[in-house]
């Protein structure tokens, strides 16, 4: 795996937030990888390793995830607060133009960033998310987020993930489930393996306003669609419906790639995803 630096920035309310930095060609805009609701920088470790050297890559962890501080007020676990945090990171690092790769919540943040200033987006990937989010998928997420399960061994954790999410990645073997467990979980101080996020992120998510910004997201998407854009969709996704993805892909300059036998969300390690991201970066 490519070497990276652990770096930090500070939120407006004083939280110490963490990101992984992979060095690369400073003449190109950096790539910023924004994770999903319960996820962290490890989601992008293979992607970042492939891009490092050719591209600078930043993998920030939102408040309450990974090595970032947990919020003092759980009601700040909302998209608008995450947006403010990302803006603070951009300001600290002096980033005026970048490629955004956003999975799920990270894709919503990408659209919000574009709405504020589309010219700073050199290109973007929306991974299994769009301006319309399926209520079925949101209900599924509400059913598990913040549950706080923990496990005795990594194998127990992997088997539990396979049982709960086998329909998302039906072709995975146990080695892949173990690798997945180590991306989204951590060995806790008590020797138990637990999910690597603050369980209190579920509190604002219980209300619809905490799940997605309560605005018409299509104008936000259209701001982003003025830039080179890749949409990745899992064939069996319950977050990004096929009709929504097709409508998104009707905009000029947008490529849609559907990952077969995959739910929410593609891991970005699939050969189809790797090839599509390569095509996008060639346009950036």
Predicted confidence (pLDDT) per residue in 25-38, tens digit: 999 999 999 999 99
Q: Is the pLDDT of residue 98 over 70?
A: yes
Q: How do strand 98-103 and strand 121-127 relate by DSSP bridges?
A: parallel
Q: What SS3 state is found at 63?
A: coil
pLDDT at 206: 72
Residue 129 corresponds to which tokens in the numbers above? Answer: 């998310």
Q: What is the pLDDT of residues 202-223, one digit of tens each?
A: 998 776 555 555 678 999 999 9
Alpha helical stretches, state H, 242-270 = 242-249
pLDDT at 214: 64
Torsion of CA 109, 24, 9, 103, to 10 degrees: 20
pLDDT at 147: 87
Band (2; pLDDT cuts 50, 70, 90): confident
- What mean pLDDT comes out for the span 175-182? 98
Q: Is the pLDDT of residue 3 over 80?
A: yes
Residue 45 corresponds to which tokens in the numbers above? Answer: 């470790």
Q: Is the pLDDT of residue 240 over 90?
A: yes
Question: What are the structural domain ranges in the chain?
Answer: 5-145+203-283
- What mean pLDDT comes out for the span 173-178? 98
pLDDT at 211: 52
Q: What is the pLDDT of residues 112-135, one digit of tens each?
A: 999 999 999 999 999 999 999 999
Do the beta carbons of residue 21 and residue 48 sit within 8 Å? Answer: no
pLDDT at 88: 98
- Superfamily for 5-145+203-283? Alpha/Beta hydrolase fold, catalytic domain (3.40.50.1820)
Residue 216 corresponds to which tokens in the numbers above? Answer: 């018409």
Q: How do strand 185-187 and strand 193-195 relate by DSSP bridges?
A: antiparallel
- What mean pLDDT comes out for the span 49-76? 98
**What mean pLDDT, rounded, does the chain reach?**
95
pLDDT at 190: 86
Percentage of residues in the chain having pLDDT higher than 70? 97
Question: Pick from 280, 273, 275, 282: which is nearest to 103 by CA?
Answer: 273
pLDDT at 205: 73
pLDDT at 254: 96
Q: Is the pLDDT of residue 174 over 90?
A: yes
């Amino acid at each position: 795996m490519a070497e990276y630096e652990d770096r930090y920035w500070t939120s407006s309310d004083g939280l110490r937030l963490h990101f992984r930095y992979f060095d690369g060609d400073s003449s190109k805009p950096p790539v910023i990888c924004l994770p999903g609701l319960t996820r962290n920088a490890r989601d992008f470790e293979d992607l970042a390793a492939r891009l490092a050297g050719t591209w600078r890559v930043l993998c920030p962890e939102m408040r309450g995830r990974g090595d970032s501080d947990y919020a003092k007020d759980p009601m700040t676990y909302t998209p608008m607060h995450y947006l403010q945090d990302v803006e603070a990171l951009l300001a600290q690092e002096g980033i005026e133009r970048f490629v955004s790769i956003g999975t799920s919540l990270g894709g919503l943040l990408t659209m919000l960033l574009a709405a504020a200033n589309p010219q700073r987006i050199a290109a973007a990937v929306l991974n299994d998310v769009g301006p319309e989010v399926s209520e079925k998928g949101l209900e599924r997420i509400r059913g598990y987020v913040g549950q706080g399960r923990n496990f005795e061994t990594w194998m127990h954790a992997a088997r539990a993930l396979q049982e709960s999410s086998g329909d998302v990645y039906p072709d995975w073997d146990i080695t892949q489930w173990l690798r997945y467990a180590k991306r989204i979980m951590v060995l806790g101080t008590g020797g138990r393996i637990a999910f690597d996020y603050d369980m209190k992120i579920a509190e604002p998510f219980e209300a619809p306003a905490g799940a997605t910004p309560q605005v018409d997201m299509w104008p936000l998407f259209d701001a982003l669609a003025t830039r080179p854009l890749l949409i990745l969709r899992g064939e069996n996704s319950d977050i990004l419906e096929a009709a929504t993805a097709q409508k998104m892909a009707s905009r000029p300059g947008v490529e849609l790639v559907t990952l077969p036998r995959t739910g929410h969300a593609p891991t970005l390690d699939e050969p189809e995803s790797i090839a599509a991201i390569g095509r996008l970066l060639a346009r950036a």
